[in-house]
Amino acid sequence: MRVAGGWRTLAVTTTVALASTWLVPRLPRFAQLHPEIDMRLVASNDAIDLERERIDVAIRYVPAGAVARSQDKLFDYEQFPVCSPALAKDRERPLRTLADLSRHVLLDFETVLYGRPWYDWQQWLAAMKLRAVKGAGWLRFSHYDQVIEAAINGSGVAIGKRPHLAQHLRQGVIVAPLGAQCVVPAGAFYIEVSDVAPRDVVDPFVDWVRSEAEQDAQAPPRRTASSRPN
């Protein structure tokens, strides 16, 4: 937290994907509740040192099986194939089973997370214990919000992430056509607070983030006639 001209600034970091699809679209609500707090958001896929980088709060991704430095879990992280409602209803190219993926272009997110290469489809396939999937083609993007924009526009099938896409699923702009059997756990996100961060600024943000996470958990996604329970 930095003080300038009587205003308080809260510095927050999380992964690029969570920042762009989950946190940033919600920040206007936090600003409305706490206009006295300015925000500095550092979206990074590196394991940032909070004190060295002068960050107050981190929403850390912890892979499945790894040990979290914080015990304050915000939400679990899941992966599953998603597409536009129109693509899910395409009668010429049904999308109901894993084999049906061969009829569709696969939209992949490739990045580096904590110093290691990351490919969404590769992560999902490993969790599903599948060797490979052959689509009708591939489109790869370096930013997750671009992947989801392409999916919304009907360009192909992407790997969805929850909680990242909670609002997208609730609003019905994308659907999970393969249902619950293709949802895999991929770790969790934890709240980590700097030892030197002032609680009078951190606590309102942490409470608000928890409230947003709880609302997502209580609101199920909208389902289409062609989508299975998820």
CATH number of the domain bearing residue 206: 3.40.190.10
With H, G, I as helix, E, B as strand and everything else as coil, classify residue 100.
helix
- Indicate the pLDDT class of residue 219, thresholds 50, 70 and 90: low
Whether 177 and 213 map to the same domain: the answer is: no
pTM: 0.88
Whether 177 and 89 map to the same domain: the answer is: yes
Whether 39 is in a domain gets the answer: yes
Whether 122 and 93 map to the same domain: the answer is: yes
Whether 223 is in a domain gets the answer: no
* pLDDT digit string, tens, across residues 113-161: 888 899 999 999 999 999 888 899 999 999 999 999 999 999 999 999 9
Whether 107 and 181 map to the same domain: the answer is: yes
Whether 228 is in a domain gets the answer: no
Number of domains, the chain: 2
Whether 117 is in a domain gets the answer: yes
Average pLDDT for 59-88: 93
Is residue 117 within 8 Å of residue 109, measured between CB atoms? no
Whether 42 and 110 map to the same domain: the answer is: no
Whether 227 is in a domain gets the answer: no
Whether 65 and 121 map to the same domain: the answer is: no
Whether 225 is in a domain gets the answer: no
Encoding tokens for residue 7?
């205003």
- Enumerate the β-bridge partners of residue 83: 175
Whether 66 and 19 map to the same domain: the answer is: yes
DSSP state of 96: S
Distance CA 110, CA 156 (A): 16
Whether 89 and 154 map to the same domain: the answer is: yes
Task: Give percent above pLDDT 70 in the chain.
Answer: 92
Whether 116 and 151 map to the same domain: the answer is: yes
> Higher pLDDT residue, 132 or 230?
132
Quote the domain boundaries for residue 29.
Answer: 2-76+187-218
| Long-range contacts formed by 141-146: CB under 8 A, 24+ apart | 141/107, 141/108, 141/109, 141/110, 142/109, 142/110, 142/111, 143/16, 143/20, 143/109, 144/16, 144/17, 144/20, 144/21, 144/109, 144/111, 145/17, 145/20, 145/21
Amino acid at 220: P
Whether 135 and 194 map to the same domain: the answer is: no
Whether 204 and 146 map to the same domain: the answer is: no
Whether 48 and 86 map to the same domain: the answer is: no
Confidence (pLDDT) at 226: 42
